[in-house]
A and B are shown apart, each in its own frame.
Chain A
Amino acid sequence: MSHDATLNPQGEAIQLTPAHAHDAHAGNGHEHHHDSFITRYIFSQDHKIIARQFLITGMVWAIIGAFFSVIFRLQLGFPDKTFPWMETIFGHWAKGGRLDPEFYYALTTMHGTVLIFFVLTAGLSGTFSNFLIPLQLGARDMASPFLNMLSYWFFFLASVIMFSSLFLQTGPFQGGWTAYPPLSALRAASQGSDRGMDLWLASMATFVISQLLAGLNYISTILNMRTKGMSMTRMPLTIWAFFFTAILGVLSFPVLFSSFILLIFDRTLGTSFYLSDIFIGGHALPNQGGSPILYQHLFWFLGHPEVYIVMLPGMGIASELLATHARKPIFGYLAMVGSLFAIFVLSFTVWAHHMFVTGMNPFLGAFFVLLTLLIAVPSAVKVFNWITTIWKGNINFVPPMLFAMGFVSLFISGGLTGIWLGNSALDLHLHDTYFVIAHFHLVMGVSAFFGMFAGIYHWFPKMFGRYLNQTLGYIHFWITFTGAYLIFWPMHYEGLAGMPRRYYEFNADSLGIYHQFQGLNEVISVVAIVVFLTQLMFVFNFFYSIFRGRKVTDQNPWKSNTLEWTTPIKVGHGNWPGEIPEVYRWPYDYSKNGVDYTPQTVPLSPEEQEELAHVAHPETIHERQL
């Protein structure tokens, strides 16, 4: 009867007494009348519902953020045209159908903030960490379902605050997603630095709280709640990636928070942490002795790890999916974990490569060059391991696999230009040009999105019990993949020509050298619109398929080894109706001994040698030797 084998919120108790769990299952939750629509779908403590909440909120933000990019791309592609409908939507920000420069900057700022934090942080790791950590590790739920719920609702609150800032008379914040003071600190410096910045800071501070609650939960769940036999080295690489992502967040978000607190002080209490020697709006300010560069250090101490908070989940998902859909074990599991760890450690030591042109001590800069280029080594290891994983595989080109392969391709293309920008001497020329835009959109924007898409296509059947339409998936992939290269590849050339980012237009005679890129800008904008419409098609596919998609009839549709596919097709609160399965092997026994796949729950046969036995269960080796 019940499509949701709902267990009561005291799932832990049930875990200890599986017989009770069956009772609850048989009872169909009838005794749980308090489990209303509101507690089940809104203030839910079920990690799977929370994951879906993160996903859908993230999607809403992704549409908003992408829509903003379409609007400012129209400005860049067609600076001389007017679009009367813009005035209908944006009112005084687009008088006569022409975008106001300040609103242009508001749009780019919101595009960056929303996509990096709300979509690729909350939407990506919020969705998949929440969904997969308990399911792939064999846990009933997160370590603290309540904190987990709070983390979503703090995110929701942050979203509401940020969203409301869009409707201010003075507009949302306009100083770029990095919010460098004094531009962000002084209300006189820009309209957006007035109320818009107040709300931006309030929203971001709330967001940090959400991330910390979520991160601590992920870490404690991974460390404490693995099922029997699930040693750390038997965890899927997705979980390793989420693990490092969570630690990165927990260690670096507080620093961002501190930078915001100081900024709030400077804005409201008259302190001078970031302000000194400023003459603005016809007045000399009293603030002296502060340093705007201090903010940049604090900001990038999160800002750079943030790039990897965005990237690592995609790497984990790609690793998992390349193996599953190529029917091969991931190549170099330990090297993959090791390189994740190396990236994790190094990501804390490279933040100042965003600041080579701030006048920093060149000697200090040298260290950041060295450490930055060092990241290329674990990144290269990952790329070569991914490629070797598909070598001699038997590749099923289902949409999740295509997106995982697209992820690798984009990561290579964008990653290689990181070697240019990380080398300070080249950065002197390329810093803050379109080259940078091309670099980070490929390496962390689009490719992180590809990781997310891959994950959605792969786990949609588990999330909703139905499939996404495959044909629409293929169209989605090919247009997005081609479009991403068409949009960002030529931007490298604009950057090499020194074309600066964050320019409202290049119409002025003084920028005559960039007039020759007008045709190119137009092409890029048209492609961006097409790609945007394709994403809307995906969104349609997503919501349509939740209700009307082809039903999943196979408990394990991808023939995957990991634990989430041992749960019922419609997973209830508590995940496994009976006992939690025990794990006997790593998750990558694909095509081992001629067997297509061997789930983690299958015990080793007597003559079988366990992969990674020496690290997975050293004591068993010891016993065998005895």
Chain B
Amino acid sequence: MAVFFAILMALLLFVVIFQIAKASEYVAVLKGEKSSRAQANKVNAFLMISFLVLGLFGVYFCNEELKDKLLPRAASIQGVAIDHMMNITLVITGIVFLATQITLFTFAFRYRSSEKRKAKYFPENNKLELAWTIIPALAMTVLVGIGLKHWFELTSEAPANAMVVEVTGHQFNWFFRYPGKDGELGKKNYQLIDPGKNNPLGQDWSDPANQDDFVSSVLYLVVNRPVKLIINSQDVVHDVGLPYFRLKMDAVPGIPTTLWFTPTITTAQMARITGDDNFTYKLICDQLCGKGHYSMVANIVVETQAEFDQFVSQQKPQYQFAMASLKPPPADTSSKAAPADTSAKPAAAGSGASGLR
């Protein structure tokens, strides 16, 4: 019913507008083209300049309303650099934006049609063309320079002391595999994937390096310690989106990608900064991956080395879950053994294979 009335109102409004429009057309014919056009020019020139003034006010208002809703300060060294670069870009493009829009609308108002003036015949001026070729070129050179400096830093080799975590995207959740004590991720093969046998990542159990690798559904990171993510996908293209760290990298099936960064603010510290006791860093999927795309979010915990070490010590390698599932009877003891996660406060999902599906 409400919809019906809404449509009826819209139609009525339209009929009224149309009648006015039609009437004004007749009036224009009666008044003569010249005077009606002069009238229209006056009104629209005035609207043009009003649009500029109101628009600029709107830009200011929008900024006032929304600036507090942006992300808290970048939580990684790389993110701080990107924010810095963004500010420089904002200043340069902001100046151009204001200069061109103000000129455009001011000219529109100032040079509205008038009987008294004649338009100036001004077809070309090479000096001007040269000026506005060279100035943007210089500005772009600066931006490219800054951009590439950051780009090469961001995409450089990860430091040797970086911890390694393997991220795997899967419709529609994330797995994080840690190399365990040996510091080495075991081999895997997608044809060995068998969630029913507690092998969601296709780890090759014949590789001894796999025996201590553990899998988590929450990404645990150590503050001020570089982390290198090795990113995979099992099915379609996903994307590891890290808004709080200002970074992003696709997860492509068949082609592992990498991304490294250094988190600088622990979850607890960020909770204080944002004033939100339940604050959690998020990893969100940023590449359309199917119907559950919008729910493909994982939690990230940034903690101190001590907290991290404690977390690691509580983890049970995936190998053990897998072996347990091969022998049916002790299956429930293994699920009991799966440690309840204590260090990750808001991470309800916990860790270990039992929480993966």
Contact = CB atoms under 8 A, between A and B. Distances in A.
A397 B284 contact: no
A392 B101 contact: no
A390 B107 CA distance: 7
A202 interface: no
B290 A190 contact: yes
Contacts of B327: none
Contact of B250 (A359, A393, A423, A593): A359
B297 interface: yes
Interface stretch (B82-90, B220-228, B304-312, B336-344): B82-90
Interface stretch (B111-119, B205-213, B314-322): B111-119
Interface stretch (B145-153, B159-167, B177-185): B145-153
B136 A365 contact: no
A128 to B, nearest CB: 24
A191 B256 CA distance: 27
Interface in B1-48: 3, 10, 14, 17-18, 20-22, 24-25, 28-29, 37, 40-41, 43-45, 47-48
Contacts of B48: 397, 405
Contact of A490 (B66, B97, B107): B66
A511 B119 contact: no
A291 B254 contact: yes
Nearest to B238: A183
Interface residues of A, number: 128
Contact of A425 (B40, B67, B154, B237): B154
Contact of B21 (A408, A471, A588): A471
B328 interface: no
A26 interface: no
B2 to A, nearest CB: 10
B53 interface: no
Given A366-B151, A413-B97, A432-B241, A334 B124 contact: yes
B232 to A, nearest CB: 8
Contact of A384 (B40, B47, B132, B234): B132
A540 B122 CA distance: 40
Interface in B63-112: 66-67, 69-71, 79, 81-82, 85-86, 89, 92-93, 96-97, 100-101, 103-105, 107-108, 111-112
A496 interface: yes
Interface in B278-314: 280, 282, 284-295, 297, 299
Nearest to A481: B51
A485 interface: yes
A101 B294 CA distance: 9
B293 A280 contact: no
Interface in A485-512: 485, 489-490, 493, 496-498, 500-506, 508, 510-511
B292 A493 contact: no
A59 interface: no
Contact of B132 (A83, A381, A412, A428): A381
A444 to B, nearest CB: 17
A520 B58 CA distance: 14
Nearest to A366: B148
A329 B190 contact: no
Contacts of A374: 140
B241 A498 contact: yes
A493 B255 contact: no
Given A394-B117, A395-B41, A591-B119, A425 B257 contact: no
Contact of B248 (A394, A405, A431): A431
Contact of B40 (A290, A365, A474): A474
Interface in A152-190: 174-176, 180-183, 186, 189-190
Contacts of B137: 377
A402 interface: yes
A183 B144 contact: no
Report the contact-size class of chain B (Cβ under 8 Å from the partner).
35 or more
A174 to B, nearest CB: 7
Contacts of B140: 373-374, 376-377, 419
B191 A284 contact: yes
A384 B127 CA distance: 13
Given A190-B291, A293-B255, A611 B112 contact: no
B9 to A, nearest CB: 11
A335 B131 CA distance: 12
Interface in B329-349: none
Which interface residue of A279, A417, A502, A593 has the most chain B CB atoms within 10 A?
Answer: A279
Contact of B86 (A420, A424, A490): A420
A578 interface: no
A425 B147 contact: yes
A510 B82 CA distance: 25
Given A183-B236, A425-B154, A591-B121, A293 B132 contact: no
Interface string B240-257: 010110111110111111
Contact of B96 (A416, A482, A540): A416
Contacts of A332: 123-125, 128-129
Contacts of A289: 254
A189 B171 contact: yes
A358 B237 CA distance: 9
A98 interface: no
A457 interface: no
A276 B290 CA distance: 18
Contacts of B121: 328-329, 590-593
A432 B132 contact: no
A417 B86 CA distance: 11
Instruction: Report whether over half of chain B's contact residues are helix, strand or loop; otherwise say mixed.
Output: helix
B97 A409 contact: no
Nearest to B129: A335
Given A359-B250, A373-B144, A412 B101 contact: yes
Contact of A395 (B92, B113, B150): B113
A276 B100 contact: no
A432 B113 contact: no
A191 B291 CA distance: 9
B237 A429 contact: no
Interface in A383-432: 383-385, 387-388, 390-398, 402, 405, 408-409, 412-413, 416-417, 419-420, 423-426, 428-429, 431-432
Contact of A500 (B70, B97, B253, B285): B285
Contacts of A366: 148, 151-152
A506 B143 CA distance: 34
A477 to B, nearest CB: 9
B239 interface: yes
A543 interface: no
Interface in B245-281: 246-250, 252-258, 280
A402 B10 contact: no
Contact of A358 (B103, B111, B252): B252
Interface string A275-301: 111111010100011111100000000
26 contacts: A101-B291, A181-B236, A182-B235, A183-B290, A282-B195, A365-B155, A380-B136, A390-B104, A390-B108, A395-B113, A405-B104, A412-B97, A416-B97, A419-B140, A420-B93, A431-B286, A432-B286, A469-B22, A471-B21, A472-B17, A482-B51, A493-B70, A497-B71, A498-B284, A501-B288, A510-B282
Interface of B: 3, 10, 14, 17-18, 20-22, 24-25, 28-29, 37, 40-41, 43-45, 47-48, 51, 55, 58-59, 62, 66-67, 69-71, 79, 81-82, 85-86, 89, 92-93, 96-97, 100-101, 103-105, 107-108, 111-114, 117-125, 128-129, 132-133, 136-137, 140, 143-144, 147-148, 150-152, 154-155, 171, 190-191, 193, 195, 202, 231, 234-237, 239, 241, 243-244, 246-250, 252-258, 280, 282, 284-295, 297, 299
Q: Top 6 closest A-B pairs, CB basis?
A: A498-B243, A276-B254, A359-B257, A362-B155, A397-B44, A471-B21
Given A101-B292, A475-B17, A498-B241, 9 more contacts: A277-B253, A393-B111, A423-B85, A425-B85, A425-B151, A428-B249, A431-B248, A510-B299, A540-B14
